[in-house]
Amino acid sequence: MTKIGVLALQGAVREHIYHIEEAGAAGKIIKWPHELDRVAGLIIPGGESTTIGKLMVEYGFIDAIRDFHAKGRPIYGTCAGMILLAKRITEGDQPLLSLMDIEARRNAFGRQRESFEADLDIKGIGAFKAVFIRAPWIESISDGVDVMAEFDNIKVMARQGSLLVSAFHPELTGDLRVHKYFIEMVREV
């Protein structure tokens, strides 16, 4: 069975594990870098990107996740995970994995009270009710990045090879299709 890890430094870890398992794969909580050897794909959940970045440095995850990616293993970042995977952010200074050729804007849609749900049309998936919480957006992309969804002409989901990001939280919906899409990415490697 395909094993998908969820980085357990902060965020909706349990919800991602549930979606992974309901979608037909095995979910594994990842608390230490050496545990990456046990999984074929990794999800970096939402939370506070600065805090997660600092914890990734403290626990040795930056190089471990970069090595994981260098081996061709897929990574999916949701919300803060999207920020951490970006090569650049529009403001601030925080640790980044710098793997995906995008520039992300933190809290682009506003603070907590501006959280919302929106109907998206996701390339390869279709209509999807997305949950945005203190969400970032993709400010700019480079060649080779495929935009998969937009909201009001703002890029909110993209893929570059074995990297997938979304500004929204599919784990907070009852819809498993984004997780199934990622699991298929992992199985294709």
> What is the residue whose two structure tokens read 């990415």?
185
pLDDT per position as a tens digit, 29-84: 999 999 999 999 999 999 899 999 999 999 999 999 999 999 999 999 999 999 99
State both tokens at 174: 């009852």
CATH of domain 3-188: 3.40.50.880
Q: Which residues contact 121 (CB under 8 A, 6 or more apart)?
A: 127, 128, 149
Q: Which residues are catalytic?
A: 79, 169, 171
Other CB atoms closer than 10 Å to residue 64's CB: what's the count?
18
pLDDT per position as a tens digit, 120-172: 999 999 999 999 998 999 999 999 999 999 999 999 999 999 999 999 999 99
- Length of the chain equals 189
| Residues 42, 29: Cα–Cα separation, whole Å | 10
Q: CB–CB of 86/100 below 8 Å? A: yes
- Listed by start position, the domains of the chain span 3-188
